[in-house]
Structure 1
Amino acid sequence: MKRWTTAAMVLLLAFSLAACGGGREASQLEVASSSNTLTVDTPQEKSAGATFSSQAQEEASLPPEESIQQTDDEEGGGDRLVVYFTYGENAALPDGVDVSASASIQLGEDGQITGNTGMVASMIAEAAAADLFSIRTVQPYPDTYDATLDQAQEEQGENARPELAAQLENLDEYSVIFLGFPNWWGDMPMAVYRFLDEVDLSGKTIVPFVTSGGSGFSNTIAAITQLEPGAVIQEGLSIGGSGAVDAQDQVTQWLEELGYVQ
């Protein structure tokens, strides 16, 4: 009887120990499983956040594409204007005038009568992508160049200001003004003085050009500087009157040196 009782007690103790061991293994498995879940999820969230931040920083460091395109578009010449006075567009010339009979009148590419300064003005406008404005007087000059020079000398003596047929109304659109004229008696035509009296070119760049029989600018640059003290005066171009028709290469080289032609 004692042996049986002892055997029963041993079996009961063994069963209890097995049950306790199984419970501890189950608890350890749950903790490990829970720990693995946390370990996997948390690094994934951090990695995703770091990747997003890196992409945002890289995109923010790149220059906007629109800014690059706007910089490239600045090569255009929409802010440039060629203002000029020329004999052929201000003289009372008869219909059918023979342009080959005078060195002071020319036939432009558009078939219209112009002068030496007008020819150079058209070359500048085409090469520099600029607009054109012709200074014209209400009262035309004589139909011969000699008579026109006589009248020009009288106007200088009187410090006259001939009335202009049109005024420039959209000057604010331009920042660069190419200003051209013939050299009459060592000075600008008085119509050009009238134009400069009527406009304010402060803050703008004036690029002068002149046609002459050999005197170049004479004292006209100083006169322009005095009339427009708030403007920047750039290096000008002097063309011999007889060479105006063939001045394209000289004009282009000058504009390239000033940076108006790439």
Structure 2
Amino acid sequence: MKTVNRRSCLKLAACATFAGSTAGLFSGRALAAPASEGKGKGKAIVIYYSRTGSTEALAKMIAEHTGAALLKIDVKEKYAPDYGDMTYIARDEVRANARRELETVIPDLSGYDTVFLGTPYWWGSVSVPINTFLMDHNLANKTVAPFITSGSSSPSGALSRMKTLCPQAKFVEHFYVPGSDAQDAKADVDAWLKKLGF
């Protein structure tokens, strides 16, 4: 039988201690907003812009249900606080296909398979901050699940714009609700997510 000396015993003990400590480290959730692991969908992230809080309410519901990471898009130059003034600024920007420089630092998205993409509906399109984001990140080869809020309009124009800017993405069924109903939409959001497999 091979003799085990004192130095070998110490090495074995050190390895066992390290393995035990790293098992505890990596078995837990390291992120405050961990990526979704549900039903073979891979990692997911919720990316959204919200000015009044309606789209943000949906984004948080989605993140809570799926365990996905949450990323709020914001701009360096803020919009006018008055809704009436902001509406006309947004109209002119949408018509001009304008950009607004983003304040948000966009992380590496290569590790995410599914993107829940949220925006308010602005003048027949997506919000300008989301338009800017998609101009720079076309989400190629990712599954995109849009969620949209508006005052009363159909979301068709926003969906069309997303698809134009992300021609290589796979779009799945969207979720839409009037902004005034967003805070109370949890049951509908959960049903939509379950239908998508989350």
Q: TM-score, normalised by structure 2?
A: 0.77
Partners of 1:246 and 1:176 in 2: CA distance: 25
CA RMSD of aligned residues (A): 1.7
Partners of 1:181 and 1:240 in 2: CA distance: 12
Partners of 1:74 and 1:213 in 2: CA distance: 34
Structure 2 matches for 1:117-196, cutoff 5 A?
A: 117-196=55-134
- Give the SS at the match of 1:166: coil
- Give the SS at the match of 2:156: coil
Q: 1:78 to 1:144 in 2, by over 3 A?
A: farther
CA-to-partner distance for each residue in 1:29-86, whole Å, 9 max, x for gaps? Answer: xxxxxxxxxxxxxxxxxxxxxxxxxxxxxxxxxxxxxxxxxxxx95377711000010
* Counterpart position of 1:75: 38
Specify which structure has the bigger relative contact order, considering alpha-carbon pairs within 8 angstroms and separated by 6 or more residues: 2
* Counterpart position of 1:232: 170
Is the 8 Å Cα contact of residues 37 and 43 (structure 2) preserved in structure 1?
A: no
* Counterpart position of 2:179: 241
Partners of 2:81 and 2:38 in 1: CA distance: 42
| Alignment pair present for 1:259 and 2:197 | yes
Any gaps of 5 or more consecutive residues in structure 1? 1-72, 88-104, 106-114
Partners of 1:187 and 1:81 in 2: CA distance: 22
Q: 1:74 to 1:138 in 2, by over 3 A?
A: closer
CA shift at 1:226, angstroms?
1.5
Any gaps of 5 or more consecutive residues in structure 2? 1-35
Identity of aligned residues (%): 36
Q: When you count helix as a share of all residues, which structure comes out higher?
A: 1
Is the 8 Å Cα contact of residues 210 and 216 (structure 1) preserved in structure 2?
A: no
Partners of 1:166 and 1:135 in 2: CA distance: 6
* Deviates most, 167-176 or 232-241: 167-176
- State the structure with more CA Rg: 1
Partners of 1:221 and 1:193 in 2: CA distance: 12
Structure 2 matches for 1:26-37, cutoff 5 A?
A: none
CA shift at 1:193, angstroms?
1.1
Alignment: residue pair count: 162
